[in-house]
């Protein structure tokens, strides 16, 4: 053993050849047929294990994902339809509210216009009554003034003629002269 130890420490000696002969075992012609046989056995065994155990599990996972995705898409479509229906309902309610607001505004405007017309008619009737009374007062005042004008004109004519001529005319002559002057 001491010999062996000394040979290892120097590292100058050649390594002993492999037990199989020389070279890499997979490339040796003697073991090539048995290696092909074991390759075929392991390939068939691996194929059977994969096809019977792993692939069905993967297939079921993929099928479950497809179902879940399909369900999610169906749920999204259902929610989209519900949202579209809610939007349509909202827009219809909004349009109805606008129509009601316009109807209420038109009704209120018509009511206010009717009340204003009624008040205007009452005010116009009152003004018409006051105007008629004022016209009657003016007519009465005018008639009284005209009567006074004739008497004032007659008195003024008598005073003017008396001052100019020194003699006062008769009442009948003065009234006839004033009437003739007013009629012109």
pLDDT of residue 5: 47
Place of tokens 């749920």: 75
| pLDDT, tens digit, 9 for 90 and up, residues 68-114 | 999 999 999 999 999 999 999 999 999 999 999 999 999 999 999 99
Backbone dihedral region for residue 24 (phi beyond 0: left; psi -120 to 50: alpha; all else: beta) = beta
pLDDT of residue 1: 46
Q: Enter the DSSP assignment of 13.
A: S
Q: How far is CA 26 from CA 18, 23, 30, 133, in A?
A: 14, 9, 9, 140
179 vs 173: CA distance, rounded Å = 10
Q: Provide the whole-model pTM.
A: 0.40
Print pLDDT tens along the chain (184 aa): 444 444 444 545 554 555 545 677 777 788 888 888 999 999 999 999 999 988 999 999 999 999 999 999 999 999 999 999 999 999 999 999 999 999 999 999 999 999 999 999 999 999 999 999 999 999 998 888 877 787 888 888 888 888 888 888 888 888 888 888 877 7
């Amino acid at each position: 053993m001491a010999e062996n130890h000394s040979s290892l420490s120097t590292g100058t000696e050649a390594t002993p050849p492999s037990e199989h002969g020389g070279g890499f075992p997979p490339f040796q012609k003697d073991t090539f047929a048995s290696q092909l046989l074991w390759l075929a056995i392991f390939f068939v065994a691996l194929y059977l294990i994969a096809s019977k155990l792993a692939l069905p599990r993967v297939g079921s996972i993929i099928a479950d994902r497809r179902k879940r995705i399909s369900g999610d898409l169906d749920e999204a479509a259902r929610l989209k339809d519900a949202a579209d229906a809610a939007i349509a309902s909202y827009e219809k309610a909004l349009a109805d509210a606008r129509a009601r607001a316009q109807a209420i505004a038109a009704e209120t405007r018509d009511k206010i216009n009717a009340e204003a017309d009624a008040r205007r008619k009452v005010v116009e009737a009152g003004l018409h009554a006051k105007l008629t009374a004022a016209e009657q007062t003016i007519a009465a005042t005018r008639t009284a003034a005209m009567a006074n004008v004739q008497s004032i004109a007659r008195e003024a004519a008598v005073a003017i003629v008396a001052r100019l001529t020194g003699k006062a005319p008769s009442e009948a002559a003065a009234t006839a002269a004033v009437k003739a002057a007013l009629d012109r």
